A and B are shown apart, each in its own frame.
Chain A
Amino acid sequence: GDSVTQMEGPVTLSEEAFLTINCTYTATGYPSLFWYVQYPGEGLQLLLKATKADDKGSNKGFEATYRKETTSFHLEKGSVQVSDSAVYFCALTPGGYQKVTFGTGTKLQVIP
């Protein structure tokens, strides 16, 4: 079945540091890939998405590129802020279906 593997957290960074959160996936066909963010006490918010190979999703300074050859969708940000502290989930949906498979989540803590 489909699966998503994320790097273990927590990740602790100083403000303005570079962020990478690794994500790899296993899926049949051509899934769509997503990054969601969950702030404390809240539901999930869609951060960015990519629907086909070599697509780059971007939002709020975060970027991720759909790499089919390495089945990866790593999340990056050039300069993190304290307000980016949250749990980040990599996820996929198989083509044509709504069932989302999530990774285990990576907690990011940014310290001033």
Chain B
Amino acid sequence: KAGVTQTPRYLIKTRGQQVTLSCSPISGHRSVSWYQQTPGQGLQFLFEYFSETQRNKGNFPGRFSGRQFSNSRSEMNVSTLELGDSALYLCASSFRQGEGYEQYFGPGTRLTVT
């Protein structure tokens, strides 16, 4: 099975712009989660989608949004970019495995805001 894919892998934007990142989950996985990774804050949960519905949301401003399509592919959007949004954005897909969820991560999109 192909793993989780994320596009683009690298992105450079300027302050005030908006950006859309894409994630294709492993075939058969219906849940997609997004995380932001920075040196200062570590890994922080953004949101999770399951069957096109947002099920969980982290503590991020409304500039961060996402959606999931009927084929489980997901996009996240960040509007009015700030310098502090520079980070590695990781997507993970999952299915229920026994009594615990296993999440499989993509390679990430490295966003640099200048």
Residues in chain A within 8 A of chain B (CB atoms): 32, 34, 36, 42-46, 49-52, 89, 93, 97-105
Contacts and interface: CB of A to CB of B under 8 A. Distances in A.
Interface string B24-36: 0000000101010
B101 A104 contact: no
A51 B100 CA distance: 6
B55 A98 contact: yes
A49 B102 contact: yes
Contact of A104 (B42, B45, B107): B42
A46 B56 contact: no
A51 B99 CA distance: 6
B93 to A, nearest CB: 10
A44 B89 CA distance: 11
Contact of A99 (B4, B42, B56, B99): B56
Contacts of B83: none
Contacts of A97: 55-56
Given A89-B43, A102-B43, A46 B103 contact: yes
A43 B56 contact: no
B103 A42 contact: no
A109 to B, nearest CB: 17
Interface in B1-24: 4
B48 interface: yes
